[in-house]
Structure 1
């Protein structure tokens, strides 16, 4: 019986030591991989920020272009009036062409 207890105790000690060593190795590897992941994430963040930032620093976005649709109906109305004046004989073809070019820009 003492030999059996000694064998069980030895097995328990060996298993406990192996478990302890495995736990330490696992924790050390987890810290190492966490540090590597944090470093990789920081590098990606720096690269992303460098891409998003223009050369001379931050530049505010350009204002939107003026809406051309608002001028559309007014130009059409003016062109129709010019065409009517030309058809009535008030304007010559040259005057009509000059005024049309001025309206269209």
Structure 2
């Protein structure tokens, strides 16, 4: 009988030690994952704040776009003539000319 009790005691000690070690490992992993999750959340928050910063931040409306300069009819015609000259000289392509023309004409 003493051999049987010794075996039971040894098994209990081994099981207790294994349980203790497993508990420590589990707590360590939980701490590690919590730290990692906190870092991920902080990174996402920073990225969101950086993304929102150029738009005026939280609750602030974005600044209005600048108003187009008031151009008279004569000014538009002179700009179109300059663009046509640049296109004729080969400085601007037809696509670039069309884009600038559309920009001038609104």
Q: If the TM-score is normalised by the length of the shorter chain, which range does it land in?
A: 0.5 to 0.7
Q: CA deviation at 1:50?
A: 0.6
Whose Rg is larger?
Answer: 1
Runs of at least 5 residues in structure 1 that lack an aligned partner in the other structure: 65-105
CA–CA distance in structure 1, aligned partners of residues 57 and 23 of structure 2: 49
Structure 2 partner of 1:17: 17
1:24 to 1:14, Cα distance in 2 relative to 1, 3 A: same
Under a length normalisation based on structure 1, what TM-score does the superposition of the two structures give? 0.54
CA–CA distance in structure 2, aligned partners of residues 62 and 47 of structure 1: 18
- Number of aligned pairs? 63
The 5-angstrom pairing of residues 50-65 of structure 1 reads 50-54=50-54, 58=57, 60-61=60-61
Runs of at least 5 residues in structure 2 that lack an aligned partner in the other structure: 65-106
CA–CA distance in structure 1, aligned partners of residues 62 and 12 of structure 2: 73
Under a length normalisation based on structure 2, what TM-score does the superposition of the two structures give? 0.53
